[in-house]
Amino acid sequence: MGSEPTTPSTAVGRLAGRRAVVTGAARGIGAEIARTFRDEGAELVLIDIAADEVRELAKALEAESVVADLADAAATAAATTEAIELLGGIDILVNNAGILKMAPILEMTIENWDLTFDINVRAMFVTTQIAGREMCANGRGTIINMASMAGKIGSPNQAHYAASKAAVIAFTRVSAMELGAHNVTVNCICPGYVLTEMGAATRTPEMVQAWSARSPLGRLADTADVAKMALFLASDDASYCTGQAMNVSGGMVMH
C-alpha cells in the first residue's frame, strides 16, 4: 500500500465540502433542494426575495442568505457576487427561482411577459455568467437550472412561462457546450406538476385528480422527487452528464 494515510474529513455526505448557491430557496422546491444539499454536507447560501422566510430557513440550516429581487439584473449580479464571497468560492449553482402568473395569450400583458422572462431566464444568465467565470477559473463546477415539462410540451394559459422554460432548456445546452472545456457541467430539470405555492391559487381537487391520471405512476411529484434529481446532478455520480433536460414528471413526458 504505497499511498500516504489521509486525514478523515469531518464533513460527510455526497456533497461534503461543496459550496452551493440556491436561488428561490425560501420555500417550495428550492427550500427542499437546500435541505437535501445541507443533509449531504454542502455549505449553502440561499438567495430569495422573501426576506423573512429565507433568513429563517438559512438559520435552521446553518447557512447564509442573501435577499434580492432577481427581476433586477443589477441586484441579481450583486447577490451572486455576495453569495460567492460568503462561501469563498462556488462549486454548485442552482437556478431555481421562477414565477408563473397564468394568463391566456389574448389577455396577457407585456408586463407579465417581461417579468416572467426577467426572473425565469435573464436572472439565470446573470448568475451563470458570474458563477461560471469563477467555476471555469477553478476548473470544476456544476450548474443546475430549473426548467419545466411546460418547456417541452406547453400548457394553456402559460405561453410566457412555457416559452421561458424552453429558453431555460436552450440556455442550458449552450452553457454546457461553452463551459464543458473547463470541466463545468450544466443540466436542467423538467418537473411535472408539484404541489407548491406556485399555481395554488387556481388549483382545484378535480385538476389535481386529472393531472395525476396523466402519470403512469398515478400521482404528482412532491418536492423531494425534484430535490433528489438535483442532488444526483450536483453529485459526482453525474460527472459525465451535461446539457441534459431531465424529466421528473412521473412519465407524463418521455422525451
Q: Which residues are catalytic?
A: 161
What's the closest the beta carbon of residue 32 comes to ligand NAD, in angstroms?
8
Report the interface residues with ligand NAD, using CB under 6 A: 24, 26-30, 48-50, 69-71, 96-99, 119, 146, 148, 191, 193-194, 196-198
Q: Which three cell numbers stand for residue 120?
A: 425565469
Residue placing its CB nearer to ligand NAD in the complex, 119 or 135: 119
Residue placing its CB nearer to ligand NAD in the complex, 67 or 136: 67
What's the closest the beta carbon of residue 3 comes to ligand NAD, in angstroms?
44
Residue placing its CB nearer to ligand NAD in the complex, 185 or 223: 223
HEC sequence for the chain: CCCCCCCCCCCCCCCCCCEEEEECCCCHHHHHHHHHHHHCCCEEEEEECCHHHHHHHHHHCCCEEEECCCCCHHHHHHHHHHHHHHHCCCCEEEECCCCCCCECHHHCCHHHHHHHHHHHHHHHHHHHHHHHHHHHHHCCEEEEEECCCHHHHCCCCEHHHHHHHHHHHHHHHHHHHHHHHHCEEEEEEEECCECCCCCHHHCCHHHHHHHHHCCCCCCCECHHHHHHHHHHHHCHHHCCCCCCEEEECCCCCCC
What's the closest the beta carbon of residue 10 comes to ligand NAD, in angstroms?
31
What's the closest the beta carbon of residue 9 comes to ligand NAD, in angstroms?
32
Residue placing its CB nearer to ligand NAD in the complex, 76 or 185: 76
What's the closest the beta carbon of residue 158 comes to ligand NAD, in angstroms?
10
67: β partners: 48
Residue placing its CB nearer to ligand NAD in the complex, 30 or 250: 30
